[in-house]
Amino acid sequence: MREAAESGAVRDGAGRREPFGTGPGPAATQGGSAGRGAPLDGLRVVDFTRVFSGPFATQLLAALGAEVVKVERPDGGDEARDYGNRPDPASPGPPFLAMNHTKKSVAVDLKDPAGRAVARRLIDTADVLVENFRPGVMDRLGLGYDEVAVGNPALVYCSITGFGGTGPLANRAANDLSVQALSGLLSMTGEPDRPPVRTPAPLGDLMAGMFAAVGVLAALREREQSGAGQHVATSMFEAQLNTLNYFYVDYWLNGTVPRPMGTANGLGLPNQAFRTSDGWVCVTSSNERAWRRLCTALDIPECAEDPRFATLRDRYAHRPELVAALSEATGRLSTADCVARLDAAGVSNSPVRDLPEAAAEPQLQAVDAVLTVPVEGLGDVRLVAAPLHFSASSRPTATPPPALGADTGSVLAGLGYAPAEIADLVAAGTVRADGSVDADGSGGTPSGTGTSGP
């Protein structure tokens, strides 16, 4: 078991673990001013997740200062290690790099009773557990909430599933594309009368991870009052539904069935991408004043006086004619000229950029959106930082994504395993320690250090 100073927990006179946040932490002893660390300093998160949704949730918690211990299978670990372009086959691909930095890796065979015993001992030291297996898997492993809460009643246990823990789809295999399809999102993407177009960003995965992190933080806040943990659950399907919330309301209320509209939508008009002489520009007019400014900026005063376009409702009724008139106007201009005119007129707009152009945007540096970590075999790797900034709390130092089992030895030693016990577990294949196990029980490849960032 970790000492209280290391884990962020305090213990009562009988040595029982009290939840993080109930004892006199740094804010209480220092008045909450000088020396304030990251918001989740001292919190231990045991991460039984893989691929995208769960790793994104725990990445957010790591960005807030929590110690995240990622539990992986010894034979290959999280399969996302192999996803994407990999210039160095020995190094993980971009998806794993993006969602697993500033974490530790412990490789444990959960099918082995001895491995499950390791996991249970680790869970007993945790403030938070996050898992994204199918419903019932953790229960079958003896690691379900009801069982582990007996030994650690202060544990906040978060489950992310594909479709929820109950119902006809509960045990259905899920991935982001299937969730986009079943939620109705794919029915409204792309161009009219063309095949569905998926959103390249895995929205269901990432939104589920974000909701999971929010749920964990809420349960931790409640634990400060009750002293007890609880089970938090969310799903990719429910998260995707929340991205479509007003579409569902419109359907239930008015019977509206949304259809593909390209970059347009059924709200403001214009509100879509228009071709320029050398690219594309997105233009939005949210009210009548903006519409008139738009017409002036594009030298089409006749459109401002056209009764077909006088009000938003009129523009809805004459959408094809309006789009044709604006397309002709923007097509005469370069993207840069179009943007300059619209900016000067105070009309919301943006050029459509490819990723190299977007990555070169100075705003990324201005808001500290990029952090850099050294990764063996890849050199300095740039990553997208969590978009969280605090006026008083510090940011944790980002570290490279860990090699598989890089921290097994040191974490097990912290759990009280003797060096000989760790060596026996390694020899039996129960755990994998990527590197030597030293005499003090530590081992593994150092994670290295990186730049500060959320």
Between the CA atoms of 192, 197, 201 and 207, what dihedral angle is there, to the nearest 10 degrees?
70
Q: How far apart are CA 226 and CA 222, in angstroms?
A: 6
Contacts of 133 (CB under 8 A, 6+ apart): 48
Residue with tokens 């807030």: 64
Query: How many degrees, rounded to 5, is the angle at CA 297 between CA 295 and CA 301?
Result: 35
Q: Are strands 271-275 and 280-284 parallel, antiparallel or unpaired?
A: antiparallel
Tokens of 291: 């519409």
- Looking at the DSSP bridge assignments, the partners of residue 372 are 382
List, in sequence order, the alpha helices (H) in 236-280: 236-243, 245-254
The answer, yes or no, to whether the previous bond of 270 is cis (omega within 30 of 0) is yes
Tokens of 320: 């094809």
Q: Please say if 146 is a catalytic residue.
A: no
List, in sequence order, the alpha helices (H) in 283-399: 288-297, 301-305, 312-317, 319-331, 335-345, 355-359, 362-366
Contacts of 13 (CB under 8 A, 6+ apart): none
Contact of 236 with 206, CB cutoff 8 Å: no
Q: How far apart are CA 179 and CA 169, in angstroms?
A: 11
Measured in degrees and rounded to the nearest 5, phi and psi for residue 253 equal -85, -45
Contact of 285 with 271, CB cutoff 8 Å: yes
Q: Which residues of 290-299 are buried (b: 16+ CB within 10 A; e: fewer)?
A: bbbbbbbbbe
- Looking at the DSSP bridge assignments, the partners of residue 350 are 282
User: Exactly one of 47, 176, 205, 434 is catalytic; which is it?
Assistant: 205
Tokens of 401: 């994504």
Catalytic residues: 205
